[in-house]
Amino acid sequence: MSLIKCTELQIGYNAPILSRAIDFSVEEGDYLTIVGENGAGKSTLMKTILRLIPALSGEISYGEGFSANEIGYLPQQTVVQRDFPASVKEVVLSGCQSLAGMRPFYSAEEKNLAIENIRRMGMEEYINHSYRKLSGGQQQRVLLARALCATKKLLLLDEPVAGLDPGAMMDLYELIHKLNDEGVAIIMISHDVQVAFRYAKHILHVGEDMFFGTADEYMISDMGKRFAPAKGGVQ
């Protein structure tokens, strides 16, 4: 079943970013990596899927029983966010806001969900630690736990390994891959095409030219060869 289907989608703010419309779909348990040149509109597309900004035209449809507020989202982290003065538990629990609705408190079930996802990300020993004192890789694990509190089906990850050292980067990629193996669908923006080939089931290339298909199809396509010759990738 498709969780998300985008048809003739035009994205942007006052004018379209891309000359061509976007067409793609994401199935349950899928792993889609979005690649493309800087400024091509990858983050704008992600925000449009989340309904943080409206589509200029076209349609985004969600699978039966699934909606935009059931998507877990890990945006690009800013310097201000890295210095956020809260405990790990408080940061992760804030991911339950969509479940809490207008209630001014979190339920016992929501608190248990936050603790479960902290454990899932291997951060249980840091549960009462200050988020700002964690390493970059640990902070991303916390934010991934937070995103998981909002969903059981789909995560949107905007360059989740940006700024991490190589060891922390690969640890996080493997963690995301494990979540996908457990049935969570992934949509991830990445500049590392080597990773796209290693983990992705499908690739969406946005830019002057467009591509949507399997990772194997992208690898042998003219676009794939131009963008990532010999799987060399770009940084």
- pLDDT tens, position by position, 198-233: 899 999 999 888 999 999 999 889 888 887 654 444
Give the per-residue pLDDT at 81.
64
pTM for the structure as a whole: 0.90
Give the per-residue pLDDT at 227.
78
Give the per-residue pLDDT at 103.
63
Dihedral angle, C-alpha 157, 141, 31, 219, nearest 10 °: 80
Give the per-residue pLDDT at 99.
64
Residues across the chain = 235
Residues 6 or more apart in contact with residue 75 via CB below 8 angstroms: 158
The helix-helix angle for 108-120 and 136-148 (nearest 10°) equals 140
pLDDT tens digits, the chain, 235 residues: what are they? 789 999 999 999 888 998 889 999 999 999 999 998 888 899 999 999 999 999 999 999 999 888 888 999 999 876 546 677 899 999 999 998 776 566 667 889 999 999 999 999 999 999 999 999 999 999 999 999 999 999 999 999 999 998 899 999 999 999 999 999 999 999 999 888 787 778 999 999 998 889 999 999 998 898 888 876 544 443 3
Give the per-residue pLDDT at 4.
96
Residues 6 or more apart in contact with residue 215 via CB below 8 angstroms: 33, 196, 197, 200, 201, 202, 203
